[in-house]
Structure 1
Amino acid sequence: MSFKGHDIRCVQRRSLLETLAKELPNGTLRFSSKVVSIDESEDHFKRLHLANGAILKTKVLIGCDGVNSVVAKWLGLQNPVFSGRSAIRGNAHFKGGHGFEPKYRQFVGKGVRSGFLPCDDENVYWFFTWTPATKEEEEMEDNPLKLKQLVTSKLKDASDEMKSVIEKTLLDDIISSPLRYRKPWELLWGNISKGNVCVAGDALHPMTPDIGQGGCSAMEDGVVLARCLGEALLKPGVEDGEYERIEMGLKKYGQERKWRSFDLITTAFMVGFIQQHEGKVMSYLRDKFMLRFLSGLLSRKAGFDCGKL
């Protein structure tokens, strides 16, 4: 799907993980290995203590462990904060084909935002964001039946296409989570890296999903991190030890990603605030004048060039 020269691609997480895993040597990945604590040995190696009692020793520690990152906490970064909104996401499978055009559809109004996007000929990704009004709505995260009922009731006036996608979704394919973000100013004076440790992805810049840049920015992190670390380790004429060169590379990575992360977190929060605001004045300005601006803003944020490896 193309928008003003930019493609919108829907990739299922499982497919992405499987593709990345196939590029790694056998035995590289360890699943169900939850990190509970981190400490340091005398030779600068970091030791990861896992929930199953195992200890891993690492020369470079890159924390890509999500919103509840243990590595980010070790670096001194504060926990992400609740935005006041929650999201329900699902995948609808249409055996034999869904028949939708390859277009991204979004609907805004009455304090909610929803939309759907075909992933392929048979699968459609959809989302629904809202501000929980009751304690019950806040606590139904683990009950997919109630989640589906909530979305159906909130979108009773939605298009037939949107309602058909929700109806077709199996309960096992519905998830929900509160939308959290890192306070952007924390990245300006906090530690993105320290010694031979850094964070990337949601561990670095958790943001609300309103501009669709969470996963994309994580890929940017990977490119910049590989470049900075590679240049530091392979730089000719540098007599510093390996640890010092790793530290230098990670520090450069942090400097490069700091302002980009600040920009994305701030923009995502403001776009979400504007799109879901229920006030009459804001709703009027949004619907009459700001939608085109917001669409252009999203394409500009997606057009960022993080450079080459």
Structure 2
Amino acid sequence: MIVGAGIGGLAAAGALRRVGVDVEIHEQASELRAAGSALSLTANARVALRCLGIDLDVERRGQVYPELHFRTATGRPIRTVRFAHLGDRVGAQNVAIHRGELHRALLAEAGDPPIRLGSAARRFHRHHGGIRVEFADGTSADGDLLIGADGFGSAVRRQLVGPERPREPGYVCWLATVAYRHHLVREGYAAHYWGRGQRFGLVHLGGDHVYWWGTRNMPPEAARDWRGGRDEILHAYAGWADEVVATVAATADAAVISVPARDRPALRRWGDGAVTLLGDAAHPMLPSLGQGAAMAVEDAVVLARCLAGATDLPGALRRYEAARRDRTRRMIRQAHSLSRIEQLASPAGDLARRAYLRWLPTRLVDRRNLADLTFPDALPAAGR
């Protein structure tokens, strides 16, 4: 049983289908649709899927971005980080894709599994050698294994590790996808604009669509309860580069999604017995690396490979967790540290940040990016 039909849950369903494991998905939403805007499906996720023979045709569904431009708030270049040659080395390119497109591709790969909507998991317990999950509507379901892919507020995680408080660095994230083209935003364009205490990302999604995101420092409680609109965002980016202002101005209020920046410290224990976690339920991270979706996809592939032909199911889950723990812990730590640098608000901090990025040797930039973009193919030996 998979709880959650987001990117992680559907990736797990498709990966498990490839190794002959039947799945049943339970989703708390009343309809099956992808919430959110767009995302990066980085090379490591694509290579991971290829290990199971899965090709989601994401280059047709989205847009390859061969490089990432870093600019000041007014659009002056700071540095361009090139990804294409790293993609050639690892065997795939980074792709920007709308979450809905990726959702549909993963659902097709999963092969129309049983999906029960309106099923909000509340608790689980062991039952006749398996797992029984109880739902908010009073119903229950039984299975051999339970995979908690139910996101940041995971009910499965809460029962496994107890109540937790998220880490909230104190900024809001705005996200939107809009049908709009600017003459500076050409095919494959991807750029981050850095201001003091706020940033803006602008990515061409293919055709006439662009994806943008913005951040702004504010108290955590304000970020949690932000209810402004496009005009407030426009005011926040007044005086920024023309393509930034024009893209926000072309966005309807209803298209803007607001989420507070938050993550959680890495867990030492992801599961118990026939229960485990996957994706944001296991390792929610700040968006600074653009690796959240990729980590969920990697999880799904490693989980499937550990379960393929397994007779000791809890043992297979522990192998999966052992294989994923160090890499996801490093990603959480990197994203958290980078976020602090990206959101610096003081003039001195802003100046130091730009100087560091401009003069950091290319070999070091490539080394760090290559480590992130390389899917670690090895699995722990059975019995470890």
TM-score, scaled to structure 2: 0.69
Q: Which residue of 1 aligns with 2:46?
A: none
The one of 277, 281, 287 equivalent to 1:199 is 277
Contact 1:81–1:181 (CA<8 Å) still a contact in 2?
A: yes
Distance 1:29 1:197, change over 3 A: same
Q: Which residue of 1 aligns with 2:145?
A: 60
**Secondary structure, in 3 states, of the residue corresponding to 1:23?**
helix
Deviating beyond 6 angstroms after TM superposition, the runs of 4 or more aligned structure 1 residues are none
Deviates more, 1:19-28 or 1:119-128: 19-28
Question: Identity over the aligned pairs, expressed in percent?
Answer: 24
- Where in structure 2 are there 5+ consecutive unaligned residues? 1-64, 67-81, 88-92, 380-384
Which structure ranks higher in relative contact order (CA pairs < 8 Å, sequence separation ≥ 6)? 2
The one of 110, 114, 121 equivalent to 1:28 is 114
Q: Which residue of 1 aligns with 2:289?
A: 211
The one of 303, 307, 317 equivalent to 1:229 is 307
Question: CA separation in 2, counterparts of 1:299 and 1:40?
Answer: 42
The one of 301, 307, 330 equivalent to 1:263 is 330
Q: Which residue of 1 aligns with 2:41?
A: none
State the Cα distance separating 1:59 from its structure 2 match: 0.9
State the Cα distance separating 1:295 from its structure 2 match: 5.4
Report how many aligned residue pairs link the two structures.
Answer: 287
State the Cα distance separating 1:23 from its structure 2 match: 2.6
Q: Which residue of 2 aligns with 1:16?
A: 102
Question: CA separation in 1, counterparts of 2:368 and 2:116?
Answer: 36
Deviates more, 1:276-285 or 1:249-258: 276-285
TM-score, scaled to structure 1: 0.85
The one of 361, 367, 376 equivalent to 1:306 is 376
State the Cα distance separating 1:298 from its structure 2 match: 6.0
Question: CA separation in 1, counterparts of 2:108 and 2:115?
Answer: 10
The one of 160, 164, 168 equivalent to 2:246 is 164
Q: Which residue of 2 aligns with 1:180?
A: 262
Q: How does 1:1-309 map to 2 (within 5 A)?
A: 1-2=65-66, 3-4=82-83, 5=85, 6=87, 7-26=93-112, 28-41=114-127, 43-76=128-161, 78-94=164-180, 100-101=185-186, 102-133=188-219, 138-140=224-226, 143=227, 146-184=228-266, 187=267, 190-230=268-308, 233=310, 242=311, 245-291=312-358, 293=360, 296=366, 299-307=369-377
Question: CA separation in 2, counterparts of 1:20 and 1:135?
Answer: 35
Question: CA separation in 2, counterparts of 1:19 and 1:119?
Answer: 16
CA RMSD of aligned residues (A): 2.3
